[in-house]
Chain A
Amino acid sequence: MDELQMIATMLDEPPAPESEAAGRRALTEGIRNPRRPRRAPARLRWPVLGGLGLGAVAASVAGAVLLSSGTAPRAPGAPQAEPMSARTVLLSAAGKAESAPASGKYWHVKTVFAIPTKVGPKKNPYWMDSQRVDETWATRDGRSWTGFREVGARPHTPADASAWKRDGSPTKWNLGRADTTRGETLVLSVAPKQGGLIAAKGGDTFSVCERALTFKQVQALPAEPGALKDRLAQYLRTSPDGAPQNVSDGLGQCLVGLLADVPAPPKVRGAAYRALAALPAVKAAGRTTDDRGRKGVALVVTGTGRAPVVRLVVDPATSLVLSRSVEQTGKLAAIKQKSVKTTFLEAGWTDAGPHVPSVP
């Protein structure tokens, strides 16, 4: 060992686990509230600000949090007050994800899945969302259950609601014969149906990038954004369906799936948020509320070519995904049934065991 190595060994101090998070908080805070550069002479600044209202000056000098999309005029030479983008909030959600508890018997996810279905007379067609509640429970040793229930259709948009009213607000629609060997008649109804519960076989319960993983494999996913991205890209390239044309398009969706669907450990969720925030295809779209009126931050993941646009609503306070919609682009956009939406009612660890889903 030479003297430089001895010095490196002697002085080695691995950071405390909270150091990195604390530093990132400080940085995120700094990004959100950029301070005036310390040594910038004030006399250069005031004259250019002369044209602005006093309020604006006060706000920018105080480093107020601006929620604008960045289109508001900004005085040249004024202290840089970057608009707080939702991505900033998202990165702090990553910190939240990292400190989330992971206790309970079952990893449980309860979602409402909505697919638009065209109904109504030819002169007044409209779209009803066929809604299904899916619930999954999975234990650490690999057992899992799936509960499902059709919970009744509802209008796709307010315009569809008006058309439905004009149609006399029917509660059932005959959709014709199903394209199955049994050829049963399909009926769409606004009333909920009885659901069911199935115990799954096999331990590879969780799907990440269309790869079936065991609980253990999910726990062993890399907790560093770059390595996680590499791993997911590798899954994509070796996908049984063939590699996608553009791996980076797939990456966004994979990361979203990882955040929304599987019991990844807090550190991995944090890494997934960071990886997502660093993808150029991810744009923040400001604060919003989901279908159920829950407050969150909107994220848009765009792809190249014919890739669908994925819209997410994320709750920055808990780091949970509230809803995910997949909207087709190009020619496929005309086929509304291909644009689906998943609302996450619950996701997390619980001690409550599997049961037939209730109507939300």
Chain B
Amino acid sequence: MTAPPDVDAADRVRDDDRDDAALVAASVRDADRFTAVYDRHFAGVHRYVAGRLGPQAADDVVAETFLSAFRRRASFDPAKGQVRPWLFGIATNLVAQHRRAETRRYRALARVAPAPDDGGHEDRVAATVTAERMQPRLASALAALSRKDRDVVLLVALAQLTHEEVAAVLGIPYGTVGSRLSRARRKLRAALSQEGH
């Protein structure tokens, strides 16, 4: 696109949020408008759910997320938060019903053998390889987190929600988000730095 430089990206974001809320409000009377909500948020919600449950289970859960949001669109309250976190909240509740699938996924990721170190990489490649080599530990550590801590970690890491949004999604105080996140990150870092790294 050859659009002029974005002078005030924040304004655009606020516009998007207003559009989102307006779409949901409009869909209460005109149900079809809700498909626009889907178009805007499918990719983000899918990324989050597929990250936690794997691609197969994700398709159904994502579809259910939007259907569920559609059915309760009348109760969406823009004063309580934006559409994006609202959708992630619904998705998180549905993910919780698939705890076995989630655990299976992390176990599978933990079983992947570390990539052989053939040395002499460029920096960028090295970073990827390190991440790959770390994967079994990281996946096990993630599986070992409490569900509450894991929700916070993944809403931040995968859904890229702010602390404020995570608080709204999970219905917990703002400060609790920070404390759960730092506790979880401590555990994850500890797992990564075990033996030889």
B7 at the interface (CB under 8 A from A): no
CB pair B46–A19 under 8 Å, yes or no, is yes
Neighbouring A residues of B55 by C-beta, 8 Å: 13, 15-16, 19
Q: Report the bound CA distance from A284 to B156 in whole Å.
A: 40
The complex places the Cα of A27 from the Cα of B71 at a distance, in Å, of 10
**Are B1 and A23 interface neighbours, CB within 8 A?**
no
**Range class of the A interface residue count:** 35 or more
A residues in contact with B54, CB < 8 Å: 13
A7 pairs with B157, CB closer than 8 A: yes
A19 vs B62: C-alpha distance in the bound complex, in angstroms?
A: 9
Residue of A nearest to B53 (CB): A13
Mark out the residues of chain A between 1 and 37 whose CB falls within 8 Å of any chain B CB in the assembled complex.
1, 3-16, 19-20, 22-24, 26-28, 30-31, 34-35, 37
CB contacts (< 8 Å) of B58 on chain A: these are: 13, 15, 19
Known: A23-B59, A27-B70, A31-B32. Contact between A15 and B50, CB under 8 A?
yes
Is B59's CB under 8 angstroms from A231's CB? no
Q: How far is the CB of B71 from chain A (nearest CB, A)?
A: 6
Chain A 64-105 interface 0/1 with B at a Cβ cutoff of 8 Å (1 = within): 000000000000000000100101100100000000000000
Q: Is there contact, CB below 8 Å, between A278 and B33?
A: yes
**B172 at the binding interface (Cβ < 8 Å):** no
Q: B189 in the interface, Cβ–Cβ < 8 Å?
A: yes
Tell me the complex Cα distance, A358–B70, Å. 50
The verdict on B84 contacting chain A, using a C-beta distance below 8 Å, is no
Please tell me if the beta carbons of A230 and B59 are within 8 angstroms of each other in the complex. no
Decide: A4 near B185, CB < 8 A? Known: A10-B139, A27-B66, A230-B3: yes
Q: Which of A5, A15, A230 has its CB near the most chain B CB atoms (within 10 A)?
A: A15
Residue B113, interface by CB 8 Å: no
Q: Please tell me which stretch of B87-95, B114-122, B130-138, B163-171 contacts chain A, meaning at least 4 of its Cβ atoms lie within 8 angstroms of it.
A: B130-138
Taking the closest CB of chain B, its distance from the CB of A77, in whole angstroms, is 13
The answer to whether A227 and B1 have CB atoms under 8 Å apart is yes
- Closest residue of A by beta carbon distance from B72: A37
Restricting to A260-292, which residues have a CB under 8 Å from any CB of B? 274, 277-278, 284
- Are B131 and A1 in contact (CB-based, < 8 A)? yes
Cβ B52 vs Cβ A11 within 8 A: yes
Question: How far, in angstroms, from A22 to B134 measured CA to CA in the complex?
Answer: 34
- A85/B109 in contact, CB under 8 A: no
Q: Are the CB atoms of B185 and A3 closer together than 8 Å?
A: yes
Considering the chains assembled together, what is the distance between the CA atoms of A28 and B36 in angstroms?
A: 11
Bound CA span A82–B67, Å: 14
Q: Are A277 and B46 in contact (CB under 8 A)?
A: no
Q: B3, B63, B142: which contacts A22 (Cβ < 8 A)?
A: B63
Q: Please list the residues of chain B having a beta carbon within 8 angstroms of any beta carbon in chain A.
A: 1-3, 23, 30-36, 38-40, 42-43, 46-47, 50-52, 54-55, 58-59, 62-63, 66-67, 70-71, 109, 127, 130-131, 134-135, 138-139, 142, 153-154, 156-158, 185, 188-189, 192
* Contacts A15-B58, A22-B59 supplied; 14 other A-B pairs, CB < 8 Å: A6-B134, A8-B157, A8-B158, A14-B47, A20-B42, A20-B46, A23-B59, A26-B66, A27-B38, A35-B71, A225-B39, A277-B32, A278-B39, A284-B32
Closest 7 CB pairs of A and B: A11-B51, A13-B50, A26-B63, A82-B31, A4-B157, A87-B32, A23-B63
